[in-house]
Chain A
Amino acid sequence: MMHSSDSQWPEVSFEERMATAHFDVHPHAHIVVNSAVCADCTSRECVVACPANLFVPTSDGGVVFNYEQCFECGTCYLVCNQEGAISWSYPEGGHGIVFRRT
């Protein structure tokens, strides 16, 4: 499967990948996660599916999240199977992701 020129592909780190997108971060989070609900969740769809990798499982069985680099796509609340775990709205007008070459 791997192409012979694989070595020419220094796949960028996730931090570098996210650094290519511009965010005008608002001080208030537009994603709220109910950690009590997440503690009982085993499937953790949000952790896999979020394209910005904002949901991070913790060793004690919880999920921590960042909202700062959110693409505002809505994947997390749609894939989440746990009622009431993720409250999601748009950030305040003028804030959040600003695409340039999309």
Chain B
Amino acid sequence: MNSPIDIVVCLKLTARPGVADADERFAGVSPADQAALETALVLAEHSRGSVTAAAVGPVAAELALREALACGAHRAVRLDAPSALDSAEVARQLEGVVGDAAIVVCGDYSLDRGSGSVPAFLAHRLRCAQALGLVSVDHTGVVDRMLHVVRRLDGGRRELLTVPLPCVLSVEGSVARLRRAGLRDALAARTTNIDVRPSAPMAAHAATAVVTPYRPRARTMMSPGDPDPLARLRALTDATGSSTRGETVALEPGEAAERILRSLREWGYLD
């Protein structure tokens, strides 16, 4: 009844934070990427599926792939490309590897704390469902090709999602702790063949996004008039309050996008 499920996990090897040495000895994958690998392995175990570990980057990226193989990934693919590609380009490169895999799992952030936008670009390219920034993935639904996941929202809220396959997931580091590779698997992974593919020709971008460092907006606050200090503190910090800024609307995708953009403009996030 259920066909085996192909899962792709995307890993990014980068220098550790605070390390100037651009040296593979000091490089690693983020806890989120490790959690993505563990999630992929568990989903595969529950669906007789297979896991392909994929990385875009120079030969050093194979360190991450060999670790994935040691932990139980069935094969590894490296797209030979320079390390400094933007998210859209990385997603474009990964698209060919993903093919018709049922699930793609990514970490929500790499160790160099990029924008975390590769999974969204990838889902867009694949025209499939996406569930990003997950704090929990329930593997039981995988056999029914339906995943039950929990997503983090602002203000400590959670969103329970049911995601149909095929889908792209991105997970936080807390979702799972990566298993430790067995001795024989780790030894074998040293020499396992890694499928190295030339990168697809770079796309000529129609629009180029300018990425600037994050600057919080200044927010004008009215001085709270309440004589009670605790009440003033609450008014200033929202500490106990129910925020009224959130709003749930049900619209068609195109209208929803328009609405989001309008709200962002109103709140001052966009010009």
Contact = CB atoms under 8 A, between A and B. Distances in A.
Interface residues of A, number: 4
Contacts of B18: 22
B17 to A, nearest CB: 10
B21 A100 contact: yes
B16 A92 contact: no
Contacts of A92: 180
B16 A22 contact: yes
| Majority-rule SS of B interface residues | loop
Nearest to B16: A22
Nearest to B18: A22
Interface in A86-102: 92, 98, 100
A26 to B, nearest CB: 11
A100 B18 CA distance: 12
Nearest to B186: A93
Interface in A48-91: none
Contacts of A22: 16, 18-19
Contacts of B269: none
Contacts of B21: 100
Interface in B159-188: 180
A22 B20 CA distance: 13
Contacts of B26: 98, 100
B271 to A, nearest CB: 39
